[in-house]
Amino acid sequence: MGRQPCCDKVGLKKGPWTAEEDKKLINFILTNGQCCWRAVPKLAGLLRCGKSCRLRWTNYLRPDLKRGLLSEYEEKMVIDLHAQLGNRWSKIASHLPGRTDNEIKNHWNTHIKKKLKKLGIDPVTHKPLSNNTTDQNQIKPEQPPLQEQEQDHHESSIIVEPEIKEAEKPEAEDQFMTPLFESMDAIMMNGFCTDEVPILEPDEILAPCAGDASTSSTATTTSSSSSSSSSDSYSNNPSSKFLEDLLLSDSEWSNDNNNNYYSSMALWDDDDFISSLDMLLNDDYYDSDRKQQQQPFDASLNQYPRMIMDSSESWAYGLF
DNA sequence: AATGTGAGCAACCGCACATAC
DNA sequence: GGTATGTGCGGTTGCTCACAT
């Protein structure tokens, strides 16, 4: 028996999401948390399939996402993890807070792959390309990476996945620096020019306390000059009022719910959270959406308290 | 200014896995 | 154990933009 499609697709919208759809989805998730994606579109009043909603949320709307190009450090992590895990993008993404598998996959395919080839490194095997294989035409067909060659494509055998305890992460991440990676590191330091973006190291991702708006701004001192302007403008943006209305409008909360809601919301730096969502929901953002894609988001808008996100796994459940 | 081309990215598709019944 | 359902994952597609001609 064939598997049923996730939805009947009849009358469902496809393609890019509109601001209105995003608003509905965000509002719904904030109100109800993540549950039963198949039911989400119906309950949220969206003409999308649940899968599409999930993707939109996890890849784009989630408040704990970092945006912008991967930092040099993150690129190194990706390269090294790829050498160990192959194309298991979700596994790789799980080691990079705030990054999605889709984002990493795209970055790999569009940036890192080319850079590695330029450097004479096979992006699949992570081994040096033979002398004349820098010619694209002579590159051998893609082979599984080192470990891939010894196991089935899917997880039929044990994956040698580095398990990292949260508290040990900074040191543990260094352990990813395999010999291959060390050489890669040297190459990158000398000629591997990552995209010119402010580097945000994981330890720079601060967890601003509620009510301490200054904390979040200090976390972005490494960001480009554009950060302050966008941050300021959004925090004072009248449409923040809109977001408040949005969040409260069609959710008729009991007092208890309201209390829970607001106390949970205080887990974030409210200003940043509201600003970031505001940015997503602001029509101006959508008007210039395509430009924004090319210009990384202000990192300051993405400095949600990762510790909280990580510790509660699904932050939305915590809200309710 | 108009057109062609390539790059980058969001989103879709189909399969696999996990779980409930 | 078999089936149905929900979700996750990786590969691929197609749209948009920037740049070259």
Q: What is the CATH number of the domain that holds A85?
A: 1.10.10.60
pTM attached to this predicted model: 0.59
Domain assignment present for A270: no
Residue A1 CA distance to nucleotide C3 C1' (Å): 9
Residue A40's domain comprises: 10-63
Domain assignment present for A2: no
Domain assignment present for A276: no
Domain assignment present for A295: no
Domain assignment present for A163: no
Domain assignment present for A58: yes
Q: Taking the CA of residue A13 as centre, how many other CA atoms within 13 Å lie in the half-sphere pointing to its CB?
A: 13
What does DSSP assign to residue A301?
A: G
| A41 shares a domain with A15 | yes
| Integer Cα distance of A205 and A38 in angstroms | 34
Last residue of a domain, one of A106, A128, A150: A128
Q: Show the 3-state SS of A156-218.
A: CCCCCCCCCCHHHHHHHHHCCCCHHHHHHHHHHHHHCCCCCCCCCCHHHCCCCCCCCHHHHHH
Residue A48 CA distance to nucleotide C2 C1' (Å): 31
What the block records as the tokens of A292 is 């924004």
| φ, ψ dihedrals at A10, nearest 5° | -70, 125
| φ, ψ dihedrals at A121, nearest 5° | -115, 130
A306 CB below 7 A from strand B atoms: no
pLDDT in tens, A12-50: 788 888 888 888 888 888 887 777 787 888 888 888 888
A107 CB below 7 A from strand B atoms: yes
Residue A123 CA distance to nucleotide C15 C1' (Å): 27
- pLDDT above 70 covers what percent of chain A? 37
Neighbour count for residue A174 (Cβ, 10 Å) = 9
Domain assignment present for A77: yes
Residue A180 CA distance to nucleotide B10 C1' (Å): 33
Question: What average pLDDT does range A166-195 have in this prediction?
Answer: 42
| Residue A319 in this model has a pLDDT that exceeds 60 | no
Domain assignment present for A91: yes
Neighbour count for residue A107 (Cβ, 10 Å) = 19
| A42 shares a domain with A20 | yes
Number of structural domains in chain A:
2
